[in-house]
């Protein structure tokens, strides 16, 4: 990017600044440079000085993010942001580790001496960290051929902040299974699997955490600590002594002052801390006790090796530090005085003066826009730059043209940046058409021509001009409002989706296809006649027990009902279950017929054929300021394909709130309008209508598209005008509530109907929607996830697109699980309103919600607090939500009715009281209501103080912990929601049937019914039983955990082919080591069962040395070939046709080892009878 640096060389100020940097010991002070011009100057000075690394310090996180984004335009991925962590809430029981992960990536890059630029706010700079040597000494290196002791390694990993689990799913975990160690470092996308031979490292593999399969071999790896504090035995001993000493002093102090409550509290707090310190090694929230473990702490500055340090706006850094100090002092002092904190927890940040002392030892550049008195840093002889910011043009091309002509006339070097390549090329052509000389440059490496506009791809927050150098940079932000360069999309890791079996636990309800609903009691190894096998035990009503072999796993599923209700258990040996199943089956067949009729009707009907994408369509799509996710691209392409075909579109777009469904709808709407069609966008609530209306207006403002809204927010007079213009065809897109489907609303040429959350409309509205749908293209959007199984069974009947990828620009929501504490609630609210944000406070009881709201108002008197709940009238609720959206309310205390689809970007803190009483899916949806902007969002999940958590609630909080990391808890939450989605898509009537037989069996019955009615129905499959006298089970020594055992059995039961056999064999070897003989037997039996099933065999039974293969009477066998087959076996094979059709194969004791092989060969030969 030489073209961007060269013009600065002509400035005296630049030459003076670079000389001062080279020769002066004092800091170089720069005046007059603002916004993106600072990043430009930092890049230029750093490049000229050939700096190995740069550290840019600024006054807050938002500004740090801005500088990072601007610098990435100049320097690419070598720019990293070191985010600040939440000091006040670090004592939480559980918190998400995304920020720690980002910080550790930066620490690794610094210690690896990479040439990087780190941007940091004053908050992050204040955080104390351990000495870099401790960090380096605890970075583990593993090489093939090296040796290790498993017990010592497990202890060290725990001290490094890793958590030991049975199966590694998220970063910061490790597991040990025999001689296999899995470690998931915080700075990696995949986990590492180390396999030992004795104590020697035999192999190191990279493993996909979702599928748990190896993807690549490695010769050596490095494993970083999982936290910023690493402990040792000495550090732990020191911490225990110091904590006890502090505690005794504080108890004495409180007792003398007569503060018995505080004395009791600090005693309790101390016991809890000591319990963690003594038993856990490294634990969540340990950072709050750093002072106890180490006598001296350091700053990130200490990790660098001679960096150039740029300080952005020192005076604002001073102001920000003062407010941080005040916030910390108030919060910590209050908690200390009440006995919640120990003395050593008071000094949890470095003082500004200590940081300044560290900075004075490095090469520094201080940058300030205006001349101001700075007390805490030496500021003298500043170099003043003459620089101007660019005023926005607000899409006024004439104004832009005039300015460009002025710059050209005065021989300026001009760069115009555009956020997309196509748009940059179009801009270049547009300027040429308007007689402005312009060229397109993709790299900006060549010197700039004077008096010519160089158009290039890129993005800066603000443009700037250096009049003395006659150099100007214009960004798309000035030209057409806020535009953003698309971020590089991280590839979403494809992995296998988990099925319902992975979370099957003892005590769960289970559905057996033939025996009904029972309770899963675990796996039992049973020995019969000296042969050991594992059986699944299921208990039924009245004490009946059923034992089924593990190769019959396909006949059972975990029971999941629509609302998670407890089902009625069936009795063994009665016809009750058969009747239930038959009733549901007949209802499902009716539903299947309706679905197929609907599909056929739609196929016969001819829809409007839209033309291919126009140039305007491409330009409109390029103006979308983010990178589309892969799922979004697929959904958009599928929708367009439907529109460009002659069939009537009926597509369902399903994706989480904020995953980009609206953008799919916007593009489809724009495409419809391009061909002269009208679009109706139907939403369930007035507020949502307003939000979507604003969104459409914003996206389409540069194009001649008229967007209107029909809802209660418009006066009757305004509504009348919109309705008349719709009828005349003057309105292109109308967005609204059920008002759109009123009798008086007529369209001139409706082409596309978009329905948002159809399940939330009443029955009468649904009927009207149905009529409107008859011959127009329909796009339905839903935020409730649709289960994959249901999706698969409806392929070809209902077109669906699912968005499962989160948008890249989202900050992960920082989630904390902690005891209810009013001081912390106060801190959380103050922090949010301090950055001009708003807060949701969820309290799920209507009877005293007003008291809770009053209590919050007393805690935070400066905030405007209101409350909302479901027993208010629709208009009351609406008024409350509008006030909240408009920023008139700071804290909304609400039950769980907060509008699901609402996108309020200013609400970035949610506090949930009694979180342990809520289901995971509910918590997941509540948490998803914050974090819609580029700010860090916070979710505080609080449980009752001093409440002894019931086992269930404790497990739930443990699951929430995993769910903060999108581990298994997240998957359970998703499953909960999917069932709700299944109910929505199938309709109210089917809820009862879903409950009666459980979700999985219901889907299976639906799939069978749809298949039966299709053009090529398969004949009904029979269940084949296998009884061979060999030990076949999974030993406890091989797989300890029952859940993993069931998962393995499920995989083995799904073997259909030789390829499947090898795949399962490889996976088990990969995850658990070499297969014992008894496990190989299981695989062989599964393959034999599959082969026999394909031949319509009822059973394969061993009777002594004879193996009987019973064949179904309807099986397709060529009788003419049978004698030849029998003859080839030399009297060892017989064929009988009496009541049963059977082959009987004799295998001598001496050939026992070949049993499975011989059975497989015979099955293959029987198969060849049909060829």
Domains of the chain as residue ranges with CATH: 2-132+297-384 (3.40.50.300), 140-223 (3.30.2060.10), 389-480 (3.40.50.11140), 605-801 (3.40.50.300), 814-984 (3.40.50.300), 1058-1168 (3.90.1150.50)
Beta pairing, strands 471-474 & 117-121 = unpaired
User: In angstroms, how far apart are the furthest CA atoms of the chain?
Assistant: 110
Mean pLDDT of 1112-1131: 86
Looking at the DSSP bridge assignments, the partners of residue 525 are: 534
pLDDT at 962 over 60: no
Q: Considering only CA atoms, which of 716, 685, 681, 694 is closest in space to residue 877? A: 685
Beta pairing, strands 438-440 & 191-197 = unpaired
CA distances from 23 to 12, 343, 354 (A): 16, 46, 25
> What was the pLDDT predicted at 967?
42
Quick one: pLDDT band at residue 496, thresholds 50, 70, 90? very low
* Alpha helices (runs of H) in 257-285, residue ranges in sequence order: 260-280
Supply the DSSP symbol for 129: B
Mean pLDDT score of the chain: 84
> What was the pLDDT predicted at 982?
60
User: How many of the other CB atoms lie within 10 Å of CB of 549?
Assistant: 19
Lowest pLDDT segment from 71-85, 620-634, 765-779, 786-800: 786-800
pLDDT at 492 over 60: no
Quick one: pLDDT band at residue 376, thresholds 50, 70, 90? low
> What was the pLDDT predicted at 726?
92
Distance, C-alpha 193 to centroid of its chain: 24
Mean pLDDT of 1023-1034: 89
CA–CA separation, 717 vs 584, rounded Å?
Answer: 52
Q: Higher model confidence: residue 867 or residue 288?
A: 867
> What was the pLDDT predicted at 856?
94
Mean pLDDT of 103-124: 92
CA–CA separation, 992 vs 994, rounded Å?
Answer: 5
Supply the DSSP string of 1086-1100, one letter for each residue.
HHHHHHHHHTTEEEE
CB 775 within 8 A of CB 801: no
Quick one: pLDDT band at residue 612, thresholds 50, 70, 90? very high
- Give all strands (DSSP E) within 790-832, no chain letters: 799-803, 814-819
pLDDT at 398 over 90: no
Render the burial of 1074-1094: b for 16+ CB within 10 Å, e for the rest.
ebbebbbbbbbbbbbbbbbbe
Quick one: CA dihedral 1108, 1112, 1118, 1120, positive or negative?
A: positive
CB 892 within 8 A of CB 829: no
User: How many of the other CB atoms lie within 10 Å of CB of 591?
Assistant: 18
Lowest pLDDT segment from 107-116, 583-592, 960-969: 960-969
CA–CA separation, 343 vs 322, rounded Å?
Answer: 22
Quick one: CA dihedral 513, 518, 519, 524, positive or negative?
A: negative
Residue found under tokens 């967007």: 707
Beta pairing, strands 200-207 & 214-218 = antiparallel
> What was the pLDDT predicted at 809?
52
Supply the DSSP symbol for 989: G
CA–CA separation, 710 vs 718, rounded Å?
Answer: 9
> What was the pLDDT predicted at 202?
94
pLDDT at 488 over 60: no
CA–CA separation, 981 vs 987, rounded Å?
Answer: 10
Lowest pLDDT segment from 328-332, 513-517, 735-739, 860-864: 328-332
Quick one: pLDDT band at residue 1015, thresholds 50, 70, 90? low
CA–CA separation, 488 vs 500, rounded Å?
Answer: 34
CA–CA separation, 448 vs 185, rounded Å?
Answer: 46
pLDDT at 645 over 70: yes
Quick one: pLDDT band at residue 721, thresholds 50, 70, 90? very high
- Give all strands (DSSP E) within 783-884, no chain letters: 799-803, 814-819, 838-842, 865-868
Residues in CB range of 1033: below 8 A, 6 or more apart: 525, 532, 533, 534, 550, 1078, 1079, 1082
> What was the pLDDT predicted at 857?
94
Mean pLDDT of 503-519: 86
Quick one: pLDDT band at residue 676, thresholds 50, 70, 90? very high
Tokens of 445: 């490496």
Distance, C-alpha 1043 to centroid of its chain: 24
Residue found under tokens 């003989």: 1077
CB 834 within 8 A of CB 345: no
CA–CA separation, 1100 vs 1026, rounded Å?
Answer: 5
Quick one: pLDDT band at residue 486, thresholds 50, 70, 90? very low
Query: Mapping DSSP to helix (H, G, I), strand (E, B) and coil, where does residue 1031 land?
Result: coil
> What was the pLDDT predicted at 447?
84
Quick one: pLDDT band at residue 196, thresholds 50, 70, 90? very high
pLDDT at 789 over 60: no
Tokens of 747: 């369209």
> What was the pLDDT predicted at 490?
40
Side-chain-side CA neighbours of 696 within 13 Å: the count stands at 29
CA–CA separation, 601 vs 709, rounded Å?
Answer: 32
> What was the pLDDT predicted at 843?
93
Percent of the chain beyond pLDDT 70? 86
> What was the pLDDT predicted at 996?
79
Tokens of 553: 């796993």
Query: Which CB contacts under 8 angstroms, 24+ apart, belong to 1055-1059?
Result: 1055/1083, 1055/1086, 1055/1087, 1055/1090, 1056/1090, 1057/1090, 1058/1087
pLDDT digits (tens, 9 = 90+) for 280-302: 888 877 888 888 999 999 999 99
Lowest pLDDT segment from 33-37, 688-692, 910-914: 688-692
Q: What angle do CA 435, 436, 441 make, to 5 degrees?
A: 130
> What was the pLDDT predicted at 948?
52
Quick one: pLDDT band at residue 762, thresholds 50, 70, 90? low
Beta pairing, strands 531-539 & 545-549 = antiparallel
Burial of 1117 (0-12, 13-18, 19+ CB in 10 A): middle
Residue 597 Ramachandran class (φ > 0 left, ψ -120 to 50 alpha, else beta): alpha
Q: Higher model confidence: residue 199 or residue 657?
A: 199
Percent of the chain beyond pLDDT 90? 34
Tokens of 718: 């305004």
Lowest pLDDT segment from 474-488, 639-653, 1128-1142: 474-488
CA–CA separation, 50 vs 115, rounded Å?
Answer: 10
Mean pLDDT of 399-421: 88
């Amino acid at each position: 990017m030489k073209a961007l640096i060269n013009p600065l060389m002509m400035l005296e100020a630049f030459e003076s600044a670079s000389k001062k940097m080279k020769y002066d010991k004092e800091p170089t002070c720069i005046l007059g440079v603002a916004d993106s011009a600072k990043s430009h100057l930092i890049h230029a000075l750093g490049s000229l000085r050939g700096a190995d690394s740069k550290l840019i310090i600024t006054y807050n996180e938002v500004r740090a993010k801005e500088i990072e984004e601007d610098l990435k335009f100049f320097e690419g991925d070598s720019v990293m942001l070191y985010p600040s962590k939440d000091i006040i809430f670090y004592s939480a029981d559980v918190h998400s580790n995304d920020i720690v992960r980002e910080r550790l990536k930066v620490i690794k890059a610094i210690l690896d001496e990479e040439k990087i630029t780190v941007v940091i706010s004053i908050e992050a700079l204040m955080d104390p960290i351990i000495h870099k040597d401790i960090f380096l000494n605890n970075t583990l290196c593993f090489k093939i051929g090296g040796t290790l002791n498993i017990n010592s390694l497990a202890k060290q990993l725990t001290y490094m902040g890793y958590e030991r689990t049975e199966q590694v799913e998220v970063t910061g975990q490790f597991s040990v299974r025999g001689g296999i160690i899995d470690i998931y470092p915080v700075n990696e996308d995949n986990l590492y699997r180390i396999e030992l031979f004795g104590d020697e490292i035999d192999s190191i593999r990279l493993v996909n955490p979702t599928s748990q399969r190896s993807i690549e071999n490695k010769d050596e790896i490095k494993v970083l600590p999982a936290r910023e504090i690493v402990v040792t035995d000495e550090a732990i001993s020191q911490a225990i002594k110091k904590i006890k000493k502090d505690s005794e002093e504080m108890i004495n102090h409180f007792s003398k002052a007569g503060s018995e409550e505080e004395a009791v509290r600090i005693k309790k707090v101390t016991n809890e801390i000591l319990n963690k310190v003594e038993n856990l090694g490294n634990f969540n929230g340990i950072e709050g006790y750093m002072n106890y473990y180490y006598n001296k702490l350091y700053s990130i500055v200490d990790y660098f090796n001679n960096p150039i340090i740029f300080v952005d706006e020192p005076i604002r850094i001073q102001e920000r530090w003062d407010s941080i100090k005040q916030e910390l002092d108030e919060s910590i002092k209050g908690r200390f005085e009440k006995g919640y904190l120990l003395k050593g927890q008071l000094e949890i940040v470095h003082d500004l003066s200590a940081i300044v002392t560290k900075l004075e030892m490095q090469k520094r550049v201080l940058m300030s826009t205006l001349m101001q008195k700075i007390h805490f840093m030496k500021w003298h002889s500043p170099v003043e730059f003459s620089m101007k910011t660019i005023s926005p043009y607000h899409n006024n091309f004439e104004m832009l043209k005039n300015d460009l002509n002025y710059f050209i006339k005065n021989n300026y070097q001009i760069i115009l940046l555009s956020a997309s390549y196509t748009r940059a090329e179009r801009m270049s052509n547009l300027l040429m058409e308007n007689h402005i000389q312009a060229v397109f440059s993709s790299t900006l490496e060549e010197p700039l021509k004077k008096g010519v506009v160089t158009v290039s791809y890129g993005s800066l927050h603000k443009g700037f001009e250096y009049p003395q150098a006659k150099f100007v940079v214009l960004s798309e932000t000035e030209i057409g409002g806020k535009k953003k360069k698309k971020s590089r999309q991280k590839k979403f890791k494809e992995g296998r989706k988990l099925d319902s079996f992975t979370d099957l636990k003892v005590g769960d309800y289970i559905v057996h296809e033939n025996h009904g609903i029972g309770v899963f009691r675990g796996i039992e190894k049973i020995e019969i006649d000296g042969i050991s096998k594992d059986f699944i035990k299921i208990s039924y009503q009245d004490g009946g027990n059923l034992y089924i072999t593990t190769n019959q796993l396909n006949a059972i599923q975990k029971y999941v009902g629509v609302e998670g209700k407890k089902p009625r258990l069936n009795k063994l040996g009665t016809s009750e279950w058969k009747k239930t199943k038959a009733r549901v089956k007949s209802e499902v067949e009716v539903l299947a017929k309706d679905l197929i009729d609907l599909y056929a009707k739609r196929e016969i009907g001819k829809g409007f054929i839209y033309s291919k994408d126009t140039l305007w369509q491409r330009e409109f799509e390029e103006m979308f300021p983010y990178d589309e996710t892969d799922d979004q691209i697929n959904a958009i392409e599928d929708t367009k394909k439907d529109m460009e075909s002659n069939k009537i579109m009926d597509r369902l777009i399903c994706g989480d709130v904020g995953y980009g469904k609206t953008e799919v709808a916007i593009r489809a709407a724009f495409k419809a309008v391009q061909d002269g069609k009208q679009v109706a966008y139907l939403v369930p609530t007035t507020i949502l209508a307003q939000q979507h209306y604003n969104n459409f207006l914003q996206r389409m403002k540069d194009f001649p598209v008229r967007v209107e809204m029909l809802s209660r927010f418009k006066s009757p007079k305004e509504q009348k005008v919109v309705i008349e213009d719709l009828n005349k065809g003057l309105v292109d897109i109308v967005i609204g509530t059920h008002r759109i489907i009123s009798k008086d609303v007529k369209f001139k040429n409706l082409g596309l109907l978009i329905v948002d959350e159809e399940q939330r409309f009443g029955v009468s509205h649904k009927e009207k929607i149905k009529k409107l749908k008859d011959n127009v293209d329909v796009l339905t959007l839903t935020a409730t996830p649709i289960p994959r199984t249901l999706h698969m069974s409806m392929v070809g009947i209902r077109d669906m697109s699912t968005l499962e990828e989160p948008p890249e620009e989202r900050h992960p929501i920082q989630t904390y699980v902690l005891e209810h504490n009013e001081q912390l609630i106060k801190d959380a609210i103050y922090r949010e309103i301090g950055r001009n944000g708003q807060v949701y406070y969820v309290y799920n009881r209507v009877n005293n919600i007003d008291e809770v709201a009053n209590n919050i108002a007393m805690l935070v008197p400066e905030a405007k607090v209101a409350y909302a709940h479901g027993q208010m009238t629709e208009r009351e609720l609406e008024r409350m939500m509008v006030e909240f959206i408009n920023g008139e309310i700071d804290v909304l205390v609400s039950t769980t009715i907060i509008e699901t689809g609402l996108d309020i970007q200013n609400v970035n803190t949610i506090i949930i009281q009694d979180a342990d009483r809520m289901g995971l899916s509910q918590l997941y949806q509540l948490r998803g209501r914050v974090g819609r902007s580029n700010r860090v969002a916070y979710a505080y999940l609080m449980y009752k103080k001093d409440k002894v958590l019931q086992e269930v609630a404790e497990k739930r909080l443990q699951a929430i912990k995993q769910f903060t990391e999108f581990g298994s808890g997240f998957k359970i939450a998703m499953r909960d929601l999917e069932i709700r989605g299944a109910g929505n898509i199938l309709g109210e009537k089917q809820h009862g049937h879903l409950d009666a037989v459980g979700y999985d069996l219901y889907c299976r019955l639906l799939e069978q019914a749809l298949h039966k009615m299709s053009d090529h129905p398969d004949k009904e499959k029979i269940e084949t039983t296998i009884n061979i006298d060999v030990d076949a089970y999974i030993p406890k020594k091989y797989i300890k955990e029952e859940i993993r055992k069931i998962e393995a059995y499920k995989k083995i039961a799904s073997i259909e082919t030789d390829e499947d056999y090898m795949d399962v064999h490889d996976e088990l070897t990969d995850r658990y080591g070499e297969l014992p003989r008894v496990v190989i037997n299981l695989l062989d039996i599964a393959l034999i069962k599959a082969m026999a099933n394909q031949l319509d065999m009822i059973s394969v039974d061993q009777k002594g040395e004879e193996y009987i293969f019973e064949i179904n009477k309807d099986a397709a066998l060529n009788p003419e070939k049978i004698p030849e087959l029998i003859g080839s076996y030399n009297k060892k094979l017989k064929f009988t046709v009496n009541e049963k059709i059977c082959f009987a194969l004799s295998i001598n004791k001496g050939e026992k080892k070949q049993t499975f092989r011989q059975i497989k060969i015979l099955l293959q030969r029987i198969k060849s009878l049909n060829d």
